[in-house]
Amino acid sequence: MNYLVCYHLAALILFGLGLYGITGRKSLVGMLISVELMLNGAGLALVASSRLTPAVDELGQLGTLLVMGLAAAEATLVLAIILIVSRRFGTTDIADIATLKG
């Protein structure tokens, strides 16, 4: 058990929690929160892999930075989509959103 394994296990915990949230949550906002958890796990694993092995440091750190930027873009788009869905269907409960053509 070295530090690398410790950090990767922390990232896996984040991944597992996020996966459970995605399957268990009933609203779109709850699922968005779970996606953010999983993205954080990915970033943590990337940084741990680049910092604690002979790999190139900058690759992991900048990769995580790009993941953060993508997460921000994704959150913006998802916010707009959630707004539209809640206007059209009157709810963000995924069980009630069953029509393809609004």
Q: Which of residues 7-66 bind other proteins (CB under 8 A)?
A: 7-10, 12-30, 32-34, 36-37, 40, 43-44, 47-48, 51-54, 57-58, 61-62, 64-66
Nearer to other proteins, 77 or 98 (CB): 77
Residues in region 68-87 near other proteins by CB under 8 A: 68-84, 86-87
- For residue 69, the minimal CB distance to other proteins (Å) is 5
Query: Which residues, at least 6 apart from 90, have a Cβ–Cβ distance to it below 8 Å?
Result: none
Q: 3-state DSSP call for residue 54?
A: coil
CA distance 14 to 40: 7
For residue 48 the two structure tokens come to: 């741990």
